[in-house]
Amino acid sequence: MDRLLLVVSTCCFLLAVVRSALLLRTGNFRPGRSNFFAIVVGFAFQTAFLWVRGQALGRCPLTNLFEVFIFLAWSVALIYIIVGPAYRLSLMGAFTAPLVLVIQGLALLAPIDTPRPPKMEVNAWLEFHASMSIVAYGAFALAGIAGLMYLLQEGQLKRHQLRSVFHHLPPLTDLYAAMTRLLWVGFGLYTAGLVSGFFTGEPLPKVKMACAIAVWIFYGAILQGRHLFRLAPRHVAVLCVIAFSAAVSVLWGITFVSERVPG
């Protein structure tokens, strides 16, 4: 039953993707309210799914890889809904919807929704640690998307080839500012998630800890590297994309391994 909610949510994101793709193909792209609306509706169904699943489990639904991916997709949509309109990055929706669609679609198609005992003991610190970390990934995802948009816009300006989408992309300096703010937001949330992991009262798996710290160091290095290594905005944009790809791979690896090797 709860998966039906997720299917409806996925359809909403698919609708947003198809609409954007068709408009981009005709060279008449214009970010409109309908895209934002589709994402908001998709987000509402995601929230409903997580609530239903959480009620069934009696805890935050982050018990297997499937739920982690859905929570990640939810976090990406959440951060977009908060950040997108605030920074007038309306076109970001056209980039966010495909990412959410891919994460959610893969989660639905892959056989990763392994059953768990319906009632598990609740550890508030563990739930805080897990949920904070995943929401931080949502911010990192949006930073990566802003990075992609920056690279697209910068490439057009450098090559003197301005396509229809150029007129709808925000200015370079706005994209760079959005990128760095999202990085800071993600880094702050991730730090909170990481630190709270030490208060769970449970033994910390070494590999998991090492990977989490590696991701933290990577993002910290990007933020500080802007000044220490005089990283140009284009390099920051590239690193945002690489860092998110790496972080998602690590997240998948950590969850996949912890499901099979308890502790």
Partner 1 sequence: MNLFCVGISHHTANVETRERYGCGMDAVCALRRSTDCAEALLFSTCNRVEVYGVSDRILETAEIARCLTAGCSEEAAAFYRYEERDCVQHLFRVACGLDSMVVGETEVLGQAKQAYAAARASGGAGPVLHRLFQRAFRVAKQVRTHTDITRGAVSVGSVAVDLAGKIFGELGERKVLLVGAGEMGERTARALLSRGVRDLRVASRSGDRAGDLASVAGGRAIAFAEWEEQCREVDILISATSAREPLLTQEKLRPLLRERWDRPLFIIDIAVPRDVAPNVNELEGVFLYDMDALQSIAEQSMALRREQVAAAEQIIAAHVADFSRRLVRDRAADSAGAIARDTAISEAPLRAAQP
* 86 near partner 1 (CB under 8 A): no
Long-range contacts of 252-257 (CB under 8 A, 24+ apart): 252/65, 253/211, 254/207, 254/208, 254/211, 254/212, 255/64, 255/65, 255/68, 256/65, 257/207, 257/208
Residues 74 and 148: their CA atoms lie apart, in Å, by: 20
If binding means CB under 8 A, how many residues of this protein chain bind partner 1? 25
Q: Which residues contact 262 (CB under 8 A, 6 or more apart)?
A: none
* 25 near partner 1 (CB under 8 A): no
The DSSP element (H or E) to which 246 belongs, if any, is: helix 233-260
Task: Report which of 53, 74, 142, 70 is spatially closest to residue 104, judged by C-alpha positions.
Answer: 70
* 147 near partner 1 (CB under 8 A): no
* 30 near partner 1 (CB under 8 A): yes
Nearer to partner 1, 70 or 175 (CB): 175
* 31 near partner 1 (CB under 8 A): no
Instruction: Name residues contacting partner 1, limited to 148-207 (CB under 8 A).
Output: 153, 157-158, 160-162, 164, 166-167, 169-174, 176
Q: Least distance to partner 1 from the beta carbon of 178, Å? A: 11
Q: Which of 28, 117, 121, 262 binds partner 1 (CB under 8 A)?
A: 28
Residues of this chain that interact with partner 1 (CB under 8 A) are: 27-28, 30, 153, 157-158, 160-162, 164, 166-167, 169-174, 176, 226, 230-234
